[in-house]
Chain A
């Protein structure tokens, strides 16, 4: 059997086992990070060689290796590497279980990479749970009151969400007789539109699947877990959860809804409208509640709910445009990269600052601009990108998504989104104001290690590069999006 297409995942799996075993023998735990990063580098190398090849299915059509999957794999590998770099200082303070931390982070990465490649409801479900169970354990990693509470809330709500998702998958399977996305699409296309829209079981299955996946991407109204889990979890895990898990969720949604339910148009317009409504609720709820938050992790959690809403504008536009047009998909992929870079930079800066201050409260960030000018500048840049002001990546990402949606008749949604962007300026810039204009309570610089400096440099150059010369990335995302078959 040809194992070449899943070499990235295999490499990560081997690295996971090596890290767990080495943890028993070595005293200098920094080698665990080094070995994990080496494994990720090798896996990225394998993934890059798969880019641009013809799509091929493996494991009896359970997984597909096309440009879309490879794009998300490389993006997720970069994110995992940055998460491990950023969590180095945090993890070195743990006395025990450093090996398990690295192993769980890598396991979650394998799950998310397989999610992006799944073409069968079975493989999608199993890989989704592989990443989710690793995340449940990671959120409760500190074992203190807040961390365990966050973990309990996450696993109970996550369990309900996956049961709902499975019930949706069972109904879809029952009304089409297939679990393979391509075969589901064939069965649906053979039904006449009247029969299709009258088969309420299939529609119910579709709605339940939207609810189950919506939990994963923190879409309102399935977002109740997000603020509590983000606040209680160790900050590097919060970072991983808010970027990695969300991106993998969007990869799955795009593939499932586009390749299985992408045609006929009467069906795709239905789920497009559902996503439009969810997006309007998510943006409004996230932005309005974020205004009141005193804790920066909670504020970023609500901002992440709002950004899920912005990305769902793209999903709605994909549902409402005729098939064969891939611009909507490529705009979503562009937004995903821009959001990932800005959120990574913001959270890494928060990790360093909070580590020193021992506080996540926004008022304690007063005067950070004087104590750590570089970190404050990085946080400012990432918040500006999250607002969506030029010359950052966030501006172009929002511009593309909004123009795409306006072009497919969703002008009302674009208006809601623009109003929301204006609201969001207030709470993002409040942090900036506190940092630069507030008086520091203590003196002394805030040190940051070389690992964090390096990861922050990557994120910031990415934000600026995407904002100033988007052409290169745009070509890559267009190649990735156009390989999404239906």
Chain B
């Protein structure tokens, strides 16, 4: 069997769904952050696969992917800093217990 575009797309959709499920269902803020990273990884797989199969002569998808990786790293850094700030005050990063603000 030859691996084609659709296999990559199925992989990335499955990865994206796993990430989305994790982000919506997990309690630990760190795990939610990891799930978001999985979603971004799924996007990079899609981008590179499309770039390789749809426009093989251009590198648009690969360039986009590099930008996504950079931005994801910056976002993870800020996210972990915020989680540390919360942990210092409450000694707890369970998202279901962080509920001071609600209507």
Contact = CB atoms under 8 A, between A and B. Distances in A.
A170 B51 CA distance: 10
A232 B100 CA distance: 9
A44 B32 CA distance: 40
Contact of B23 (A121, A129, A152, A160): A160
Interface stretch (A142-150, A213-221, A332-340, A476-484): A142-150
Contact of A177 (B24, B36, B55, B98): B55
A146 B67 contact: no
A136 B82 contact: yes
A170 B67 contact: no
A170 B76 CA distance: 21
Contacts of B78: 133, 136-137, 155
Task: Name the residue in B32, B46, B49, B103 with the highest tally of chain A Cβ atoms < 10 Å from its Cβ.
Answer: B103
B32 A148 contact: no
B1 interface: no
Given A125-B67, A155-B82, A232 B32 contact: no
Contacts of B49: 174
Nearest to A160: B23
Nearest to B58: A177
Interface string B59-100: 011011001100100110011011101100110000100101
A109 interface: no
Contact of A160 (B20, B63, B95): B20
Contacts of A420: none
A163 B40 contact: yes
Given A173-B61, A173-B64, A148 B89 contact: yes
Given A136-B78, A159-B33, A160-B36, A166 B43 contact: yes
A126 interface: yes
B79 A293 contact: no
B82 A125 contact: no
Given A170-B46, A171-B46, A156 B68 contact: no
Interface in A164-184: 164, 166-167, 169-171, 173-174, 177-179
A148 B23 contact: no
B79 A179 contact: no
B11 interface: no
Interface size grouping (class) on chain A: 35 or more
B43 A167 contact: yes
A146 B46 contact: no
B101 A232 contact: yes
B89 A179 contact: no
A156 B33 CA distance: 7
A126 B67 contact: yes
B79 A150 contact: no
B43 A170 contact: yes
A177 B56 CA distance: 10
A299 B75 CA distance: 29
A183 to B, nearest CB: 10
A314 to B, nearest CB: 28
A174 B46 CA distance: 8
B39 A160 contact: yes
Contacts of B54: 174, 177
B74 A133 contact: yes
A289 B103 contact: yes
A148 B85 contact: yes
Contacts of A153: 98, 101
Given A126-B67, A136-B78, A167 B46 contact: yes
B17 to A, nearest CB: 11
A151 interface: yes
A125 B50 contact: no
Contacts of B63: 122
A35 to B, nearest CB: 25
Given A149-B98, A149-B100, A159-B23, 12 more contacts: A125-B64, A129-B71, A129-B75, A133-B71, A133-B75, A148-B85, A152-B86, A152-B98, A163-B36, A167-B46, A170-B43, A174-B50
By Cβ-Cβ distance, the 5 closest A-B pairs, closest first, are A174-B50, A163-B39, A159-B36, A228-B101, A170-B46
Interface of B: 16, 19-20, 23-24, 29, 32-33, 36, 39-40, 42-43, 46-47, 49-51, 54-55, 60-61, 63-64, 67-68, 71, 74-75, 78-79, 81-83, 85-86, 89-90, 95, 98, 100-103
